[in-house]
Structure 1
Amino acid sequence: MTYLQCVLRLTLTFFLPFGGRLSENNRWVQLSYLVPWRRVEQEYSKNFSKDPRGGRAVSVRMALGALIIQEREGFSDRHLVQYITENPYLQYFLGLEAYQEEPPFDPSLLTYFRKRLGHDAINQVNEWIVEAARREEENADDDEHVGKPAYIIRSRCRRRLTNTATRTGQEPRSHRGKLILDATCAPADVAYPTDLSLLNTAREKLEDIIDTLHAPHKGNMKKPRVRRRQARRDYLKTAKNRKPGRREIRKAVGQQLRYVARDLRFIEQLVPHTPLTRLSRRQYRDLLVIGVLYRQQHEMYRLHSHRVDDRIVSIAQPDVRPIVRGKAKANVEFGAKVAISVVDGYAMMKKMNWDNFNEGTTLIESVERYVERFGCYPEAVLADKIYRTRENLRYCKEHGVRLSGPKLGRPPKQVDPEQKKLEQQDMGERNAVEGKFGEGKRSYGLGLIRARLRQTSETVIALQLLVMNLEKRLRLLFWLIYAEFLVMDCDMIRPVS
């Protein structure tokens, strides 16, 4: 049974109350065939509770499918549920058997979907999709229509790396394929942080906490004088100045530090009368974060420095750290740093951390993972100069892997033309990973992560890579279908000998 026949049989089972049937050429129908839903369901249904009490559990297909739709189209949680309710193709993609006019789930559940799945589960699904894509490309290379228009398939399918992947404990048979490595920052949706603005935000949050703690004793206890109007005027005096000097900024930072310290003392005095349990969960969390922020800012103010370990740049997202990238557009970015590898146009995550790290340390692990996945070492590793450490060069030399770039040390006076041509070729092929970063940041939201929590942000970043790989498979599937129709047309017009 061909792919078109399989999809047609599946779409016929979806009931539409207003008549007709779904088109097998729709992108969501084709995407539903590319995701291994049954394998995902069997693997991650183990994480759900078997307690019969409580509400009905949502299937893994609906949870993962909703997140894929959201990242692919850029919907908010509320708009996503509205579009799913209005579109039968999206409901088919989520695994529903018939069109329904009621929302399949509440928008608030999307946060729990992101928490429950996590970036590890998304990366595993991504591995399965890439593995299935490689198997289909190998079958395309072994197409029975040799010499016919199936060359269109082979021209767009990368040559297969190996016949079968060897398991651990076996020596790789050969060196095939190329591994491309690089890292980028996935910026979080935070305002550009300054010491003055952070301290002003902390002061305002502390004033609200003081109001909450003093509310039960209103009329019986004198309320602390927080001087919020005066503090606001002092802040705006510098914030509204277009070009404030260093002395003026330092003076304003010192004033806000003293206001924050004063509010923290007032909270300590109110705690014996009103327990902190009266605060909301967000207020209690902000109070803990502000305590660390005040210590960091006070230390930098005292030492006349702008550097401190684990520096907090956002009270709402305290896990965000400044990542120094040295780019022309922005020297510092604020978000998680992600190291990925690209093989045959498919991107897979290697490491993600909210603290800055040297991506060169991921080369050995990436090559070993390549061996586990494809059963052989790559012919070459295409990466930046930061990957060309002595340890990485020694490892690549021992395993017969060529690491792109010039040799360490002083450059030679006479450059070998063949070596220069090879380096230029490597630079051209390495642009594939830069293209993946650009595609993710321009089209799929990797350039601005709007999730607020650390766990959900990591899930969103992993989903970006998953959606990009699905899009690549969808483009390849288009050429497979086109070549199949072309072969059928050629068979019909072939002259009889």
Structure 2
Amino acid sequence: MFRARENQLVLPGDFFLPFGGKLNEDNRWVKLAQVIPWRKVEKHCGEQFKSRTMGQEAYPVRMALGALIIQERLGLSDRETVQQITENPYLQYFIGLPEFQQKPPFHPSLMTHFRKRLGSDIINQVNEWIAEEQDDDHADSDDQDGGSGSEADTHATEVRAENTQEMGNQGKLLLDATCAPADIAYPTDLSLLNEAREKLEEIIDVLHAARKGGKRKPRTYREKARKAYLAVAKQRRVSPRVLRKAIGKQLRFVARDLRIIARLKDEVGLSVLSRRQYHQLLVICELHRQQEEMYRKRTHRIEDRIVSISQPHVRPIVRGKARANVEFGAKVAVSLVNGYARLERLDWNNFHEGLTLQAAVEAYRERYGCYPETVLADKAYRTRENLRYCKERGIRLSGPALGRPSKSLAVEQKRIEQQDAAERNEIEGKIGEGKRLYGLGLIRARLRETSETVIALQLLVMNLERRLRLLFCAILSRFMATSVSGRVLMLT
């Protein structure tokens, strides 16, 4: 049951500490709580969920979102996140508790429920609100406790959009794409088939235990299959002929287990299996079909290839990078405007980056009321269709113009290309920051929907950190200006 909170925002001075004292208002978690528009988030979440008068009352939105932000900002596990919140009063204030408590505010298993409950759509909307408010002085007195997003903000945004539309194209849009690798072992055909065989043997044990009449257990030759797998897996170098022979053996073992399960299904049914085992059985059936087809056609490519039984949604993404030619995860298209990153597209299948340019430009126009003056992107975005699209709208797309280069403009064109490359480093650094500091380089969530939520959360945390840095810089500059003016008055 979702219930809106009338006053879930607590000032730092009102947070009760049983051991005395008050919270430091300059603490980063206190300042970060003032940046996030909690009221707008709660209102938006309330519109997404159906109102129910019965059932257990849901946890506050601030607690759910705050816990997820803490986890991604500090790079913690679910259990460690709850432990840190239990021990730290600033983290308890950040998630909206009115006073310090020594017991955990919720069970660690609810972190997965929070990721499912919010979802990537809500997180992207919050990220959009954070990126829209680029001036710290734009907040009014109602936003001091974190409740930004008043009618004055909306009116100011509309006025700004009208002004920029009258001035023509404004601003720069940076585009790039990357892969957010999933936390899976490097997949090989032999290891996948061996894992599938082991899981099928567990399913056979469960189905046989449900049989009546003391019937004999079907033979699976699991020891023989395990020995055949290890004989090849332990070798440093395996010839293609030996590897193909080993894959054929494992395919036959898996096919035998599937036939056994088909017979047992007619006797006891599949209702005795757990939900996880039933899902694994469906994935393994598709995996066996793909591997058998590739084995028969002597190829290593197939559409929607499964590379993980536990995460069947993960796909191989060919990137052609020096470090890893192929990555396994979701492909993410990111845009950057004024240092704030936005998620333009997320897909588990590989896609061409150039297809996201027009949608990103139209989204820029919807946000700011005008087209960008320049779009900085790599060569993958310079398709003929994108060049024609940008030319019709007066947008300069980075890179050389089509046709034979002019000798008179060669020096100027080279200077512009060098400047564009230098400015485009900002989005490369932003993606690198997300992978090094905020977990974008390894997504540990296992479900498809929770993985998408985690990726959106990491972009949100990066934008919050930028807002926090700008806030502290503004406070420091005002402090320095006050100190200098005070010294001038003393000297005069």
- 2:332 equivalent in structure 1: 338
| C-alpha spacing 1:355/1:137, structure 2 compared with 1 (3 Å) | farther
Q: What letter corresponds to residue 40 of structure 1 in structure 2?
A: V
Please list the CA deviations of residues 389-423 of structure 1 after superposition, one character each: whole Å capped at 9, or x if unmatched. 11111111111110001123566677610110000
Aligned to 1:446: 440
Question: What letter is aligned with 1:85?
Answer: T
The DSSP-based 3-state class of the residue aligned with 2:167 is: coil
| Aligned residue number for residue 81 of structure 2 | 80
Match of 2:277 in 1: 283
Separation (CA, whole Å) in 1 of partners of 2:261 and 2:437: 46
Question: 1:454-474, CA deviations, whole angstroms, 9 ceiling, x for partnerless residues?
Answer: 000000000000000001111
Q: How does 1:379-394 map to 2 (within 5 A)?
A: 379-394=373-388
Displacement of 1:272 in angstroms is 1.2
Percent identity for Structure 1 against Structure 2:
63
Distance 1:464 1:295 in 2: 36
SS of alignment partner, residue 210 of structure 2: helix
Residue number in structure 2 paired with 1:204: 198
Query: Which residue of 291, 295, 298 maps to 1:297?
Result: 291
The counterpart of 1:181, out of the listed 150, 155, 175, is: 175
Q: Are 1:241 and 2:227 matched, yes or no?
A: no
In structure 2, the partner of 1:142 is: none
Which digits, 9 at most, give the CA deviation of each residue in 1:283-307, with x for residues without a partner?
Answer: 0000000000000000000000000
> Once the 2 structures are TM-superposed, how far is the Cα of residue 378 of structure 1 from its aligned partner?
1.1
1:226 Cα deviation (Å)?
A: 0.2
1:494 is paired with a residue whose SS is helix
Please show how residues 150-165 of structure 1 align to structure 2 within 5 Å: 164-165=160-161
The CA RMSD measured in Å over matched residues stands at 2.0
Q: Which residue of 2 aligns with 1:423?
A: 417
Task: Identify the residue that residue 151 of structure 2 maps to in structure 1.
Answer: none
Shift of 1:25: 1.3
Counterpart in the other structure of 1:143:
none
Tell me how far apart the structure 2 counterparts of residues 56 and 494 of structure 1 sit (CA, whole Å): 59
Q: Distance in 2 between matches of 1:11 and 1:201?
A: 53
Q: Which residue of 2 aligns with 1:477?
A: 471
Question: Structure 1 stretch 333-342 or stretch 209-218: which is displaced more?
Answer: 209-218
SS in 1 for 2:97: coil
1:218-274, CA deviations, whole angstroms, 9 ceiling, x for partnerless residues? 662111100000000000011001101000000000000000000000000101111
* Paired residues of 1:45 and 1:60 also in contact (CA < 8 A): no
**Structure 1 partner of 2:267:** 273
Q: TM-score, normalised to structure 1's length?
A: 0.90
Q: Which moved more, 1:40-49 or 1:119-128?
A: 40-49
Please state how far the C-alpha of 1:137 moved relative to its aligned partner: 7.0
Quick check: 2:25–2:31 contact (8 Å CA) kept in 1?
yes
TM superposition score normalised by structure 2: 0.91
Q: Quote the offset at 1:41 in angstroms.
A: 0.7
> Are 1:162 and 1:176, in contact at CA under 8 Å, matched by a contact in 2?
no
1:139-180 CA distances to partner (integer Å, 9 max, x unpaired)?
9xxxxxxxxxxxxxxxxxxxx99961149xx96631211100
Matched residue SS, 1:348: strand
> In the TM superposition, what is the alpha-carbon distance from 1:375 to its structure 2 partner?
1.5
Pairing of 1:342-421 with structure 2 (within 5 A): 342-409=336-403, 416-421=410-415
Q: Hey, what does 1:260 align to over in structure 2?
A: 254
Residue by residue over 1:412-462, the C-alpha shift from the partner in whole angstroms, topping out at 9 and shown as x without a partner, is 677610110000000000011110111000000000000000000000000
* Residue 492 (1) aligns with residue 486 (2): yes
Secondary structure (helix, strand or coil) at the match of 2:370 reads coil
Contact between 2:210 and 2:272, CA under 8 Å: does it hold in 1? no
Q: Secondary structure at the match of 2:472?
A: helix
- Greater Cα offset, 193-202 or 99-108: 99-108
**CA distance, structure 1, for counterparts of residue 405 and residue 322 of structure 2:** 26
SS in structure 1 at match of 2:366: helix
Counterpart CA distance in 2 for 1:161 and 1:65 is 26
Q: Which of 307, 317, 340 is the aligned partner of 2:311?
A: 317
The aligned residue for residue 145 of structure 2 is: none
Q: Aligned partners of 1:356 and 1:411: how far apart in 2?
A: 34
Distance of aligned partners of 1:212 and 1:311 in 2 relative to their CA distance in 1, 3 Å threshold: same
What is residue 45 of structure 1 aligned with on the other side?
46
**Structure-2 separation of matches of 1:412 and 1:221:** 85
Retained in 1: the 8 A contact 2:136–2:471?
Answer: no
How far apart, CA to CA, are the structure 1 residues paired with 2:377 and 2:166?
A: 22
Residue 217 of structure 2 aligns to a residue whose secondary structure is coil
Q: Contact between 2:438 and 2:458, CA under 8 Å: does it hold in 1?
A: yes
SS at match of 2:333: strand
Secondary structure of 1:271 counterpart: helix
* SS, match of residue 340 in structure 1: strand
Deviation at 1:216, TM superposition (A): 2.0
Give the 5 Å matches for 1:22-41. Answer: 22-41=23-42
Q: Give the Cα separation in 1 of the matches to 2:279 and 2:447.
A: 12
- Quickly say closer, same or farther: Cα 1:278–1:257, change in 2 above 3 A: same
2:5 match = none
Question: In the TM superposition, what whole-angstrom CA distance separates every residue of 1:105-161 from its partner, at most 9, and x where no partner exists?
Answer: 11111111111111111010000001112x43779xxxxxxxxxxxxxxxxxxxx99
Partner of 1:192 in structure 2?
186
Aligned positions of 1:25-174 closer than 5 A? 25-133=26-134, 135-136=135-136, 164-166=160-162, 173-174=167-168
User: Distance in 2 between the 1:410 and 1:199 partners?
Assistant: 54
Q: Which blocks of at least 5 consecutive residues in structure 2 are unaligned? A: 1-9, 140-155
Q: Contact between 1:166 and 1:372, CA under 8 Å: does it hold in 2?
A: no
For each residue in 1:343-389, what CA deviation from the matched residue of structure 2 results, as whole angstroms up to 9, or x when unmatched? 11110010000000011011111111111111221110000111111
Task: Tell whether the 8 Å contact from 1:196 to 1:253 is kept in structure 2 after alignment.
Answer: yes
1:228 alignment partner in structure 2:
222
* Residue 244 to residue 162, structure 1, CA distance change in 2 (3 Å): same
